[in-house]
Amino acid sequence: MTTQQKKINAAQLVIKKIKPGMSLGLGTGSTANEFIHILGKDRDLVKSLKFTSSSNQTIETARIYSIKCLELDEFDYLDITIDGADEIDKNGDMIKGGGGALLREKMLANISKEYFIIIDESKSVKTLGNFPLPIEIIPFSPKSTISQIDKVFKKHQMVLQIEIRVDSTGSNFITDGGNFIIDCYCKKIFQSKEINAEIEKIPSVITTGLFLNMSSSVIIGYDQYATEFKFDR
């Protein structure tokens, strides 16, 4: 069975959470796209919903099904946001931002009554950190920002490689918001709460890919089925 089928299994289960009339946040990535591909075929349900998106890439996927994404400003809150993750642990804490949409994903999650994460089983981990932690920073003087971030890690006895993300042409990757991403090769992050708070205090850091205490539940797709695990929030 392919990884794609596992993502589809997770997306098929989460679709049951969507009720007519809801406002919906759309996440970014291949798993979030599988959700859009399934939802897009239910024309009656789609017509009754209001959408906003976490990235330009997702806006394009939604457009295939004539799903119009409104500006986030149009919403005081979202009923549900459906998104993927790069890693998630047993508490529902996550690393996100592999696709570079972490800032808008966090903005959607922050105003969502329920935040459902859909993943294939490979994303479920014991300890966060094997996936490089993305951090969105302003493009001005990135070396200075990196050095301040490095100091935070060193304070927590972590010596690691930090790289500015580049695109397929070798140029610095630019987010939808016009910022840079740096990727931090942590291997294991034990003090995620403290590290996150200290990094987010650096003025040139916009946000980190640590999504702590945010997910309502995770739906894990396996070969033949998917299972939901709920978190107390």
Q: Which of 79, 86, 136, 183 binds ligand 5RP (CB under 6 A)?
A: 86
Q: Which residues are catalytic?
A: 105
- Judged by CB under 6 A, does residue 28 bind ligand 5RP? yes
Q: CB of 104: closest distance to ligand 5RP in angstroms?
A: 9
Q: CB of 73: closest distance to ligand 5RP in angstroms?
A: 21
* 48-51 contacts, C-beta under 8 A, 24 or more apart: 48/20, 48/21, 48/22, 49/18, 49/20, 49/21, 49/22, 49/23, 49/24, 50/22, 50/23, 50/24, 50/74, 50/75, 51/23, 51/24, 51/25, 51/26
Interactions with ligand 5RP, residue window 194-213 (CB under 6 A): none
Please choose, out of 16-24, 39-47, 58-66, 93-101, the segment that lies near ligand 5RP by the rule CB under 6 A. 93-101
Please choose, out of 24-32, 69-77, 140-148, 179-187, the segment that lies near ligand 5RP by the rule CB under 6 A. 24-32
* 221, 223, 225, 230 alpha-carbon torsion, rounded to 10°: -30
3 within 8 A of 221, measured Cβ to Cβ:
no
Residue 211, strand partner residues: 94
Question: Residue number with the shortest CB distance to ligand 5RP?
Answer: 29
- Judged by CB under 6 A, does residue 8 bind ligand 5RP? no
Distances (CA, A) of 162 to 49, 74, 181, 190, 224: 41, 37, 10, 18, 38
- Judged by CB under 6 A, does residue 92 bind ligand 5RP? no
CA-wise closest residue to 82 among 2, 177, 13, 5: 13
Secondary structure (3-state) at 137: strand
Give the span between the Cα atoms of 193 and 180, in whole angstroms. Answer: 23
Interactions with ligand 5RP, residue window 31-60 (CB under 6 A): 31
Interactions with ligand 5RP, residue window 100-119 (CB under 6 A): 100-102, 105
Q: CB of 142: closest distance to ligand 5RP in angstroms?
A: 19
Q: Which of 52, 62, 83, 181 binds ligand 5RP (CB under 6 A)?
A: 83
Nearer to ligand 5RP, 114 or 156 (CB): 114
What residues line the site for ligand 5RP (CB under 6 A)? 27-31, 83-86, 96-102, 105
